Every structure is written in C-alpha cells, then in structure tokens.
Amino acid sequence: MREKNSKSDGIDRYHNLEPTTDAGKKLSAIYDEWAESYDDDNDNKLKTVSQPNTVAMLQRHCTNLNSHILDVGCGTGIVGKHLAVAGFTNYDGTDPSTKMLKHAENHGYTQLFPLDIGQALAAEDNTYDVTLCVGVFTHGHVGPEGIDELIRVTKPGGTICFTVNEGVWDASGFPDAIETLTSSNTWILLEKSKQEYMVNEGVQAWYIAARKC
C-alpha cells in the first residue's frame, strides 16, 4: 500500500473519494459523520487556516459590513464565526450536510439552506453582494465549473472569494478557467495568491478574489 501524500490526496476522510454520479451523496454522508468532530479536527488535527485567511482577503476588498453574503459549503459555520469577528452582520450559508448545518446555527447566519452538489445553488441570480467558497474546490468535490454558480448568484459589482486546494489547481484546470473569466470581462481579478491552507498537512491553497462585472 502506498504512503498517503497529503498534498495530492487531501485529508483522510475523503482522500480516496473519486468523482462519481453519486459523489454528492457520498460527500454528504462523510460530512454528516464528521460533523461532531469537525471543528476540533479543523483546529487541532489539520490546523486549517483557510477560513480566517479568506475572511481577511474579503476585508481587503469589501468594507461594507452590511453586505449580503453567501457562504457556499459553510459546513459547521467556521467562516461565519470569522465573519462575525470581522464585524459582518448579514450572511447566509449553504452546505450538503444537514448535520453540519445544525452546528452552523450557532454562528450568526441569517438563514441556512441545503446544497445539492452538482446542482444549481438554491438562490436567484444576482442576489448577493459577496459570495464566499472555502474548502469546496478540493479533492473529490467540485471542479472549476462550480465558479460559474458563484458568479451567477453574485450581484454585478459584487465580490467573490474562494480557495482552491493546490492538489487540484493544475490537474482540474483552474488556471485556465480563471484566465478565461478574466479575459472575457466576466470579472475583474482582484487577488490571486498561494498561502497556507492545512498547516499540519503541509497543504497550501490558492486564494482568489474577484469583482463581478
């Protein structure tokens, strides 16, 4: 048996998951099972820093604390916790795990609703001032096609911030997708940087911020 490489395989819970027609159901089951220990694993086992890093990136490009925000893949609400600390007051969340959404109720979300992986977000076009997506573009989850949904639900002039695990960045075609969106004037790229993601796993991520045209 080969030794697991964190940079290419991701974390234990889903590193063997391959995209299938029922990948969404499998991921929902994984995260339902993980819900009770997720925050502790995030802070202590993985030392994940993507949530505060993404909120800090948002603060560099959005100063309106009353902005209507959607946190896509909100999980147990760790991003919401950091949004509240930063002073943001109006944020919704969506996630495929109902058990994780239950935990997120404690972190200041205005509303929470289920996410069906591979399907359109349950939000109208041009609804949100800000759309965040942290930890979703990773192994066995969602490819660059998911960026289109973030753009769809964001208002013109709104801000989009997301992370991409370094292990899928090139393999899944994210650089080309981001370049196409930029060159087609779909958005204005505000920031693109590679930073720490899961410190204890030795994994980095690309952090992207853009403004919808």
Q: Dump pLDDT digits (tens) for 101-144.
A: 998 999 999 999 999 888 899 999 999 999 999 989 987 778 99
Q: Dump pLDDT digits (tens) for 166-176.
A: 999 999 999 99
**Helices 50-61 and 78-86: crossing angle, nearest 10°?**
40
> What top-level class would CATH report for the domain 6-15+22-212?
alpha beta
Is residue 22 a contact partner of residue 175, using CB atoms and an 8 Å limit?
A: no
pTM confidence score: 0.87
Q: Dihedral through CA 162, CA 18, CA 120, CA 126, nearest 10?
A: 10
Share the mean pLDDT of the chain.
87
Residue type, 25: K
Long-range CB contacts (< 8 A, 24+ apart) of 25-30?
27/96, 27/117, 27/140, 27/141, 28/96, 28/97, 28/98, 28/117
